[in-house]
């Protein structure tokens, strides 16, 4: 059972990682936790499903459109919610509450427009499964893991090797200095939001397919877990978010198997607390070099 649950944990953990990356990136550039990221994850899954069953016949097209729309939502949160607050230089907490507000709006809008009942989700990744002794690995698991790894690589390459990515890193260190370099700081921030939204939307769709259903409340709990993953790995550090996500998935699944299912969430968060007690900046977090 251990191996089986390890595999389950890694699979679900890699989807947490995708959402955690979003938290990390936004925190990196804005020093702000985007509480709406969880609901964007849920929205992404919903949009793909509703487009597929309602309008467009092709899943690929629906998926693409869904991602586009979700990126638009991410852009909106920043452009119309947070940017004005930045311009007026209000304390950070206003931004935090704004993202909380957006998460409520998104969640309830989904309930109103799509209904609050759980909906079946087609599993486009179902190509069978292989069994080795006690362990069954499904095609969905393999594909999800591969897609997640691919996305994590893409994100890393984008952030660490492209000019745009360097600009993001610059903005995360000093918005003002970045502006002085001629970087369009607001543009970079919007881009960050869009990237994190797309990652979340992909994760939401993958998870919908994995469990073959979707409901409006799935954003809230995954949002919390992904945030915890980002903190576990060290907020603002991309590889940390990825590792944190996978670890969270593993802790949760193993905890549920061996300790208690009722406490599965509590176990993950307990581990998070223990790690933070000993290393407050997270597993990969850096000690703050004071900005000069």
Binding residues vs another protein (CB under 8 A): 1, 4-5, 8, 12, 108, 111, 115-120, 129, 136, 138, 163, 166-167, 169-170, 173-174, 176-184, 207, 211-213, 215, 217-218, 221, 253, 256-257, 261-262, 264-265, 286, 289-292
Task: For residues 114 and 43, give the distance between their C-alpha atoms in angstroms, rounded to a whole number.
Answer: 11
Q: How far is the CB of 264 from another protein (least distance, A)?
A: 7
Residue 291: which residues within 8 A CB-CB, separation 6 or more? 173, 174
Contact 285, 234 (CB under 8 A): yes
In 3-state terms, what secondary structure has residue 130? Answer: strand
Polymer length of the chain:
292
Nearer to another protein, 71 or 172 (CB): 172
| 96-99 contacts, C-beta under 8 A, 24 or more apart | 96/32, 96/33, 96/35, 99/32, 99/33, 99/34, 99/35, 99/36
Q: CB of residue 277 vs another protein: minimum separation in angstroms? A: 25
> What tokens does 119 get?
């909906």
Distance CA 117, CA 98 (A): 27
Please say which residue, 71 or 167, places its beta carbon nearer to another protein: 167
- For residues 232, 76, 188, 230, the Cα torsion angle rounded to the nearest 10 degrees is 0
* Strand bridging mode 119-120 / 213-214: antiparallel
- For residue 39, give both structure tokens: 């609901």
| Distance in Å, CB of 95 to another protein, minimum | 16
Q: How far is the CB of 21 from another protein (least distance, A)?
A: 18
Query: ∠39-222-144 over CA atoms, to 5°?
Result: 100
Residue holding tokens 């960050």? 192
The least distance separating another protein from the CB of residue 177, rounded to whole angstroms, comes to 4
CB of 125 to another protein, least distance (A): 14
How near is the Cβ of 153 to another protein at its closest, in Å? 21
* Residue among 169 and 276 whose Cβ is closer to another protein: 169
CA separation for the pair 136, 180 (Å, rounded): 55
Q: Which is nearer to another protein, 96 or 177 (CB)?
A: 177
Comparing CB distances to another protein, the nearer of 161 and 279 is 161
Q: Given the structure tokens 């179902």, which residue do they identify? A: 126
Cβ nearer to another protein, comparing 71 with 253: 253
Tell me the β-bridge partners of 137. 130
Kindly tell me which of 74 and 175 has the beta carbon lying closer to another protein: 175
């Amino acid at each position: 059972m251990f191996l089986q649950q390890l595999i389950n944990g890694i699979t679900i953990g890699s989807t947490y990682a995708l959402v955690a990356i979003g938290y990390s990136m936004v925190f990196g550039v804005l020093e702000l936790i985007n509480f709406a990221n969880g609901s964007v994850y849920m929205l992404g899954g919903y949009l793909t499903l509703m487009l597929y069953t309602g309008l467009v016949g092709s899943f690929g097209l629906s998926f693409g459109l869904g991602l586009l729309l979700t990126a638009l939502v991410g852009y909106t949160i920043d452009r119309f919610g947070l940017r004005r607050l930045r311009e007026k230089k209000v304390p950070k907490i206003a931004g935090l509450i704004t993202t909380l507000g957006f998460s409520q709006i998104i969640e309830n809008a989904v309930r109103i427009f799509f209904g609050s009942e759980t909906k079946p989700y087609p599993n486009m990744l179902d190509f069978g499964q292989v069994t080795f002794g006690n362990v069954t690995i499904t095609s969905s698991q393999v594909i999800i893991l591969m897609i997640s790894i691919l996305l994590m690589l893409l994100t890393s390459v984008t952030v660490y090797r492209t000019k745009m990515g360097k600009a993001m890193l610059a903005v995360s260190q000093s918005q003002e200095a970045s502006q002085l370099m001629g970087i369009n700081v607001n543009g970079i921030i919007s881009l960050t939001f869009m990237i994190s939204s797309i990652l979340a939307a992909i994760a939401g769709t993958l998870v919908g397919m994995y469990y073959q259903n979707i409901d409006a409340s799935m954003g809230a709990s995954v949002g919390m877990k992904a945030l915890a993953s980002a903190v576990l790995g060290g907020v603002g550090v991309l590889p940390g978010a990825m590792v944190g996500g996978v670890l969270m998935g593993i802790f949760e699944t193993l905890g549920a198997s061996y300790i208690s299912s009722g406490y599965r969430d509590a176990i993950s968060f307990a581990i998070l607390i223990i790690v933070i007690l000993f290393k407050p900046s997270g597993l990969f977090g850096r000690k703050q070099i004071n900005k000069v």
